[in-house]
Each structure stands twice: as C-alpha cells, then as structure tokens.
Structure 1
Amino acid sequence: MYLGLDLGTSGIKALLIDGDQRPVASGHGELDVSRPHPGWSEQEPADWVKACESAIGALQTSHPKELAAVRGIGLSGQMHGATLLDRGDRVLRPCILWNDVRSHAQAAGLDADPRFRKITGNIVFPGFTAPKLAWVKANEPEIFARVAKILLPKDYLRLWLSGEHISEMSDSAGTSWLDVGRRRWSDELLAATGLERSHMPALVEGTEQAGALRAELASKWGMQAGVPIAGGAGDNAASACGMGAVGAGHAFVSLGTSGVLFAANEAYLPNPDSAVHTFCHALPQTWHQMGVILSATDSLNWLADVTERKAGDLTAELGDDLRVPSGLTFLPYLSGERTPYNDAAVRGVFVGLAHESGRAALTQAVLEGVAFAFRDSLDALASAGTRLERVTAIGGGSRSLYWLKAIATALRIPVDVPADGDFGAAFGAARLGLIAATGADPRAVCTPPATSATIEPEAGLAQAYADACRRYRALYPAIKGVPA
C-alpha cells in the first residue's frame, strides 16, 4: 500500500492506493482560512497537523490493515505559503498563504531587480514566498530576526512526520528563491531578501526519498516505523503526476478554487513577460508551465453564496446545451489576477447588467468569464513557446458539462474527460510515494487515465464566443487602476 497526503487550502486528503495503483480508501480533515484584514489569507500550521491526524485517523478506523501495509508516503500541498520557524522549530506566526496579496509592493520591488526574472524564469508574484518574507522584514522585524527556517506548507507536514527539513523542486520553484533551470537554491536571491541558504530546507527531486516516518507516529497509527516519505510535489505538479501529464504535449485544465492551465515540458522554457509560471516538475530534469487564474470555482462559489443557492444547482439551471453569450460579461478577478496581468489590485466586475439579467444569466456570465480567463492563459502559454492541441479537465468544476463546453469553445481545442476515478493531487502524491519506495520508473508509473468522453468546441458558437472574448478583453484596460 502507498499513502498520498494532499494539503489543500480547505482541507487535507489522505488516499491509500495498492501496488497496482488502485485507490483503496480515503480520509479527510477540514481546514479554515483566516482573513484578519482585506487581502490577507492565513492558516495555523498546527491546524494542518490536526487535519492530517483526522484524515489518517479515518483510514485507521476504516482500513487498519491496509494502513499498516503502507510502504511509501508521498506529499502534495498548496504552494507558496510562508511557514516561519525559530531555532527550536516553533512556529513564529500564522502561515501566509498563496492567495494572500499583502506583499504586492514588496513583490513589485523584488521584480524590479532583474536578477529575479533571470534566475527564476518567473515574475515575482505577490503570492510567492520571497515577497512575503520581505513584508515580514518590513512590518514584523522582531519575527523576521528570529526566523531560522522557512518551510512550504507540505514540508511543515514532512517535518512533523519525519523530523526533517527537506523540500523538493516543484514546490520550491514557486518561492522566487530557486534557480529553476539549475534546480538549486540561489544564494544571490536569498541574499537580496536578507536570507542565507541555512534558512532553506535541503532539496531533493520529488521522486526521491525525503525523510522517513517517525516511530512515535507509526506506533500511533499501527504502521511500520521508517516508511520512506517521497519528496512529493506542489499541488499542481502532483495533480500532473496523477493525470500522467509528465511529458511534452501533455496538458490539463484544472477547475479548482483557482484555475490552472498546465503543460509539461522536457526543457526549461522561461518567458516571464508572459506572466506564465515556469516551474520544475516533480520528475527529474522535467519542467512545466502554467497559466494561473486566482478565482475559478471560487467565482461560482461566490455567486452561490450571494444567491443562496448551491453551486451545482446554479449550473444545473443552465442545462447542458451551450447558450449564445448574452452580452453580460463577468471578470473573475475577485482577489486580483496572475496570468496574464500580474495585478493584485484589480477586482471582479459584471458589465452589461439589465432588467432581464436574472440568476441564470449571472451564472452563464461567470462560467464564460472563467472560460475566457483560461483563453488568456492559453494565449500566454503560446507566447511562451507552448501550444496546446487538447487538454484534460480535472477539479470540482469539471463536473459541469456546460462549463466544459464553454471552456472547449473558448479555447477552441478539445477537452478530454477522464474515466471515473481519483486522479488528483493525492493520487499523484501516492504515486510519488510508490516511486520513492520501490525505485520504479517514474514514467511507467505516472501514466494517463483512460478518457471517458471528449468535449469538442461548438463550431456554431465559435464566432459568438470570439466576439464575447473580445468584449471580455476590452474591459481589463478600462477598469485597471480603478480603486477597489
């Protein structure tokens, strides 16, 4: 058996798979996000531990024999979070999360230093880790002075599980401190934020062993002590391992809280000006590029809260047949946007509201707005040298056939729907745990799932969608700089 642990923003998932990579059982632990000020987003690392204990405890209750048979563990996690520890590994403050934009001024300052884009291959986005530390240095100097180690969220779980300070390439690429082409920490960039390599965890590839399960926890859960823990991956790279998107030409669109258009590459292809993320993949000598939108299903969930309906009920109200865009346009910038604008200050809007704009029209506009945001990412990837011919859909939003039709028509490429199964980040993490424990060939393990259906672009609506996309793109320059 192999165990994958995925630390998300809203919870932790623990997934057991067998040696044939068949999911056996899963457990969950819930998490909340604290937002003490506008633009802030934090979590207590102690809550990650409690949630992980709940998730694994559920497996111990339901499948004790299978849990006892675990021979490898893999980790996946939300990226960019700044978990600050003192010399005794005590947490100094709540973790500043990926969707926290308080450090936008510090990010702009670091990004103005040409070394960051040259070495990391990326814009310094406000959500990345380095500007968070610059913010702490400027606003909480007494805490910054006590920082001895900086860990990403999943690597704090690793510290708890194994006692080791270790990270891996895919997650570390989102800190703005990694030399992404050379796959190592940059002393030059660390120094630019008042840090040294000693503040960083050791680095391994995601497929390598990075610690082992402590005897105390193994005894508590009825497991073997010393079970190897893989380096693992950031959540998107872990999802790619679960989806088999590990080679050139493999791509997926993820409709989660945020939205990701992900393409695997077998070479390092940076183009920071496109606002595309160029990161290391979880497999050795492999990279990936991503267009990232900050509010995908979050946009639909926001509308569901406002209308006091369930998100699934809103999409069901539209039916399955794709409608002609109505002229009502939604910009899904509820917490700023990354690709293609790198604008933490912009906020979402509806344009074209009329007396006839009922709930269904609002839902349609939200789904279309997210689809057009993915179109922006597709074009940004193309400008960075990666052209996609098709994508596979994953994430909770992919359950909406209407949304998939809108995305396929907006992107003008087919969208494949995988066969029923669990192919997300927890599954990818479990695969990495299998590889680290057995030495199996990563590409032989990380294969794509069967396709159950393919959603083709609707040719009859191609022009209407192109016109609607032009309206969508004309709005950002009009609202840029308008105070929120």
Structure 2
Amino acid sequence: MPHYLGIDVGTSAVKAILADERQNAVAEADVSLTVSRLHDLWSEQDPEAWWQAVQTAIEQLRAANASAFADIRGIGLSGQMHGAVLLDENNRPLRPAILWNDGRSFREAQELGAKHPELSHAMGVIPMPGFTAPKLLWVARHEPDIFRAIRKIMLPKDYIRLKLTGAAVTEMSDAAGTWWLDEARRDWSDAALAATDLNRQHMPDLVEGSQPSGMVRSEIAAQWGLQGDVVVAGGAGDAAAGAVGLGAIEDGSAFISLGTSGQLFVTTKEFSPAPEAVVHSFCHAVPGRWFQMAAMLNAASCLAWTASLLKRDIGDLLRETEAAYRSPSNVLFLPYLAGERTPHNDPYARGVFFGLSPATQQTDLVQAVLEGVAFSFADAKQCLEQAGTPLTYAGMIGGGSRSAFWARIFASVLDVPMVRYQGSDKGPAFGAARLARLAATGEAPEAVCTAPSILETIEPQPQLVELYRPRIEAFRNLYRALKPEFVRA
C-alpha cells in the first residue's frame, strides 16, 4: 500500500506524519526546536538544526512503522513562512535564518513601502518586517559582506527540499509571503526584486504546491530505507498547508489556526488584495486559488508561555480555569509577546496583564490569556470585514484547537460558530502529506483535500456575546493607550 509523508518545519518543532492511501495517520513524530534571540526584536534559527530535527523525526517514524515507511511514494513539505535562509555558492548558510517573528527590519519595511507604494497591491500586502524582502534590506545595510555573498535565498521548508533533492525550488503559497511574488501572475516580480537589489537568479524555481519539485536523492533514499523513486511535492507554507489538511480549498472556506502564531484564513477563487486593511492576500497551495489571511504573531504560544511562567502543566491549567469560569475575566491580557502583525504592524508591542488585584488567581491569568488571544482574532475578523470578506463560521486547527473550552470562548468573542474536526491538531504536516499524494498520483485536489469528520460545532452564547463586546473594546483601548509606551520601552 502506498504511503505519503508530510514534514512540517515549524518554529517550535519539526512535525512529521505518515499517512496511508485512506488518509489515516499511521505514524507521527515531533522533534523540538529552539529559537535564538540575541537582541531585542531578533528571532533566529540554524537551518542545520531543522535538517537534524528532520533526520530525528524520520528515525522515530521508521521505528514506529518500518513497513509503511518503506512504502513512501511521495513527500510533502510545509513550514514556517517568511524566514530568510541565505546560501553561498556552495549552498551553505551564510548566517542563521532570520524568522517570521523577527522585527529588526521595521525601518527597512517602512522605507520599502514609502519608496514603492505601487507594489503592495501586486504583492498582496504592505511590506512588514516579518516578510523576507525587508530582512534582505536589513542584511544589505548591516551585514553587507554577507549580502554580497548571497547566491540563493531560500525559505525554511525549501532548505529541507534542497537537502532531499538537490533542487532550489519553492512553491506559490510560501513564495507569496516573501513580498517578491506577483500574486495574480503567480511569478516572481522583477520590480519587487529590483527594489531590494536582487534578481531572479537569487530566487528558487517556482512550482505549484501539488506539483512535483524533484525526486529524493539516491543517497538519502538509501540512508532512510526508501524503496523506488520518491517524489517531493512543492508543498506549502504552514498556513496554506493547514488549509489543505482541513479541506479549505474552495471559495469561502474559513478557519482559525492556533499554533505558535495564529491565522484567520479564508480561501478565495480570485486574487483579492486589501493591503490597506493589513490583510494578506496570497496564492494558495493548489492551482487557481488564493486566500485572504489576517496573521497574528502570538497565539497558542501565549498559553505555553503562561504555563512555563507558572511552572504548571497546560492541561491542568485549562481544566482548572474551565471549572472556575463564570463570565469574562476582569483581567485583560495583550498577547503581543513578540510584537504584532494584523492589525497593528507593530514589532514593538509587548504582552501586558491589566487589572490585577490581590484577589487575582492563576485561573484568572489563564482565562485572560485565552480571551486576549481571542480578542486579537476579533481584530482580525474586523480587518477581513473591512477587506470585504465577512466571516460566518470558522474551523479550528493547530494545537490550540484541542481545547473545547477555548473554542467556546472563541465562538462567543467572534460571534460565529466554531467547528472542531477530528485530528485538527495535525495541521500543516497532514496537509503536506496530502500534497505529496497529489504530486505522486496526479489526482484532482478536490478528490483528496476533503474536510475531516466534524467533532463538534460550537455555537456562540448570546449572553456571553453581549458580555464580551465591551471587553473587546477595552482590549483595543488598552493597546491604543500603551502604544506610545511600547516604542519608548
């Protein structure tokens, strides 16, 4: 029986899923990663650490199900978007990768937008420090020797592809987040590249996410115990891969992703840019489709941070907080631990607890964190509405989707039904496995990328909807009041 491997190069971990032809996960692996923060606003990782984590994940999968692993016919890649992996003439990294949540290029992003305002429509969004293009302007300004030595610029998952196939290739959904892709034409923009003193020779080749990008090199196949030719699909950036895994490939399909970062994602049949609303309008991972997305830099990572700070298990904290929950918390939490993208485009924003008193308990803090993340999605929903895309329901994926309690908070904060799916926490790695199958078999995306079984649909509670409205406004007021202090801090 053929099997398909999905590998997701995330920020906190490399995750891998081995799926059979019935789309059942027959083995899973998860290998942790660390982030280096040498200076304020910086966020970096060593690309070789990704490859070592992939190797470890492969060992775990082989140990879990050796016979299924030997029958792999396709590999799909997903990963954190926007990261700048800078390679020399020998395809070796010139420096650590600068990640999506790195804010050092804020000045360069502003300059790029001011000098080339006409490009934002074609690129699908205004330039922001998270994107790859402003990072390269920062490197040119602060590390000119490295900039001159660059021969190829890769995205995180595509560095793994380079190791697997020897080919420098990316695909539309990940390329979309560089600020170098003409989204409507699904091709590199010569004008955007020239704006950052680069050209097409610096860029990887482009394929669709469901198309083959190369074959696994014979030495890797022998090392991993693979039999026969194994195709490597184009794959997807993590947001689009999550959509593929959830079957969100048709016009209007919507979901919320609660991973390290957060996304509110809606598939569109046409390219619908709305840069003025700080909404991302990008190419999807399957041909002829695009999506609009509000991107938040802080999501389930806020809950993990809180649990670490309190030295408590996340599951225990959630159970205790749910038991204590009566109404919206008196404590507000701004979840901007790593700055924020939608709607603020503010790398200086920081996390804040407001409203503490001697009566405040751990459960109050946790509830405030859960609500604060949900309030940031209320801002995202408002941005999508301004961009002409109303939200009538949303699925949930990512690690945060495991919590039905959090889903209930989201439903009432956003005032839309929330849909939880079976296996929704598998996320991008499962979507990557689906893309591997499409590349290997040539099947139509609609035949493979179906929605998983619904676990439950959670309706908003009218009383809570009304109680949350003033808290959302207080949340927005708190950010506005503190914004000048974030810059001075």
Q: Shorter-chain TM-score: what band?
A: over 0.9
Q: Is contact 1:7-1:76 (8 Å) kept?
A: yes
DSSP-derived class of the 2:129 partner: coil
Whole-Å separation in 2 of the counterparts to 1:209 and 1:70: 15
Residue 162 (structure 1) shift? 0.1
Please say if 1:190 is aligned against 2:230.
Answer: no
Aligned twin of 2:59: 57
Contact residue 324 and residue 363 of structure 2 kept, 8 A: no
Most deviating of 89-98 and 391-400: 391-400
TM-score normalised by the chain length of structure 2: 0.97
Residue 266 to residue 423, structure 1, CA distance change in 2 (3 Å): farther
> In structure 2, what residue type is equivalent to 1:293?
M
Q: Is the 8 A contact 2:399 2:425 kept in 1?
A: no
Mean Cα deviation higher: 348-357 or 276-285: 348-357
Question: What letter matches 1:99 in structure 2?
Answer: N
Q: In the alignment, which residue of structure 2 is the partner of 1:465?
A: 468
Higher mean alpha-carbon deviation, 454-463 vs 181-190, is at 454-463
Residues 1:322 and 1:462: Cα distance change in structure 2 (over 3 Å): farther
> 1:302 and 2:319 equivalent?
no
> CA 1:120–1:245 in 2, change beyond 3 Å: closer, same or farther?
same
Count the aligned residue pairs.
484
Partner of 2:44: 42
Question: What is the distance in 1 between the residues matched to 2:424 and 2:254?
Answer: 18
Is 1:3 the equivalent of 2:26?
no
When structure 1 is superposed on structure 2, of 184-193 and 361-370 the one drifting more is 361-370
Q: Given that residues 73 and 229 in structure 2 are in contact (C-alpha distance below 8 angstroms), is that contact kept between their aligned partners in structure 1?
A: no
SS at match of 1:216: helix
Q: Which residue, out of 376, 381, 392, partners 2:379? A: 376
Gaps of 5+ in 1: none
* Structure 2: distance between partners of 1:69 and 1:435: 16
Q: Quick one: which amino acid aligns to residue 112 of structure 2?
A: L
Range with bigger deviation, 119-128 or 237-246: 119-128
Secondary structure of the residue that 1:173 maps to in structure 2? helix
Aligned to 2:173: 170
- 2:124 corresponds to which of 91, 114, 121: 121
8 Å CA contact retained: 1:155, 1:166: yes
Which stretch has the larger CA shift, 276-285 or 347-356?
A: 347-356
How much does 1:118 deviate? Answer: 2.5
Give CA-to-partner distance per residue, 1:272-305, whole Å, 9 cap, x none.
0111111100010100111111111121222222
Map of 2:235 onto structure 1: 232
Give the direction of change, closer, same or farther, for the CA distance of 1:361–1:27 in structure 2 (3 Å limit).
closer
Of 72, 78, 81, the residue aligned with 1:76 is 78
Which amino acid is the alignment partner of residue 434 of structure 1?
A: R
**In 1, Cα distance between equivalents of 2:478 and 2:356:** 14
CA distance in 2, matches of 1:448, 1:320: 32
- Residue 265 of structure 2 contacts residue 291 of structure 2 at CA under 8 Å; is this kept in 1? yes
Q: CA deviation at 1:247?
A: 0.7
Gaps of 5+ in 2: none
What is the identity, as a one-letter code, of the residue corresponding to 2:232? I
**Distance in 2 of aligned mates of 1:323 and 1:337:** 29
1:17 is aligned to 2:19: yes
Give, in angstroms, the shift of residue 471 of structure 1: 0.8
- For residue 345 of structure 1, what is the amino acid of its counterpart? Y
Percent identical: 51
Please say if residues 151 and 202 of structure 2, whose CA atoms lie closer than 8 Å, have aligned partners that are also in contact: yes
Superposed displacement of residue 111, structure 1 = 1.7
User: What is the alpha-carbon distance in structure 1 between the residues aligned to residue 446 and residue 32 of structure 2?
Assistant: 32
Alpha-carbon distance in 1 for matches of 2:96, 2:439: 31
2:440 to 429, 437, 440: 437
Within a 5 Å distance, the mapping from 1:99-118 to structure 2 comes to: 99-112=101-114, 113-118=116-121
Q: Give distance in 2, aligned partners of 1:421 and 1:237.
A: 14
Q: Aligned with 1:89: secondary structure?
A: coil
Residue 89 of structure 2: aligned partner: 87
Q: How does 1:267-416 map to 2 (within 5 A)?
A: 267-319=270-322, 322-416=325-419
Contact 2:256 2:397 in 1 (8 A): yes
| Aligned CA distance change for structure 1 residues 330 and 143 (closer, same or farther; 3 Å) | same
Match of 1:217 among 211, 216, 220: 220
Q: Give 1:30 deviation, angstroms.
A: 2.4
CA–CA distance in structure 2, aligned partners of residues 91 and 466 of structure 1: 48
| Letter of the structure 1 residue corresponding to residue 80 of structure 2 | Q
Pairs within 5 Å for 1:252-271: 252-271=255-274
Q: Distance in 2 between matches of 1:402 and 1:21?
A: 28
Q: Contact 1:110–1:116 at 8 Å: present in 2 too? A: no
Cross-structure match for 2:161: 158
Give deviations 1:409-433, integer Å, cap 9, x for gaps: 0100000111246641111001000
- 1:322 to partner: Cα distance: 5.0
The answer (yes or no) to whether the contact 2:303–2:369 under 8 Å persists in 1 is yes
Tell me how far apart the structure 2 counterparts of residues 119 and 204 of structure 1 sit (CA, whole Å). Answer: 19
Q: Distance in 2 between the 1:3 and 1:306 partners?
A: 35
| Contact 1:252–1:391, Cα closer than 8 Å, also in 2 | yes
Q: Report the Cα distance in structure 2 between the residues aligned to 1:115 and 1:315, rounded to whole angstroms.
A: 47
Instruction: Give every structure 1 segment of 4 or more consecutive aligned residues whose post-TM-superposition deviation is greater than 4 Å.
Output: 420-423
- Distance in 2 between the 1:345 and 1:245 partners? 33
Q: Is the 8 A contact 1:92 1:143 kept in 2?
A: yes
Question: Which amino acid in structure 2 is aligned with residue 6 of structure 1?
Answer: D
SS of the residue corresponding to residue 481 of structure 1 reads helix
Counterpart for residue 145 of structure 1: 148
User: Secondary structure at 2:7's aligned position in 1?
Assistant: strand
Matched-pair contact (CA < 8 Å) for 2:121–2:274? no
> Cα deviations across residues 334-354 of structure 1 (Å, max 9, x unaligned)?
111111111111112122222
SS state at 1:114 partner: coil
Residues in 2 aligned to 1:174 and 1:5: alpha-carbon distance in whole angstroms: 19
8 Å Cα contact 2:62-2:69 kept in structure 1: yes
Instruction: Give the aligned residue type for 1:18.
Output: D
CA contact (8 A) 1:213 1:225 kept: no
Once the two structures are TM-superposed, the CA of residue 60 in structure 1 deviates from its matched residue by: 2.0
Structure 1, residues 197-225: CA drift from partner, whole Å, max 9, x if none? 10000001001100110000101111135
Deviates more, 1:77-86 or 1:60-69: 60-69
Contact 2:257-2:396 within 8 A present in 1 as well: yes
**SS class of match (2:178):** coil
How large is the Cα RMSD of the aligned pairs? Answer: 1.3
Task: Give me the whole-angstrom Cα distance separating, in 2, the residues matched to 1:88 and 1:235.
Answer: 27
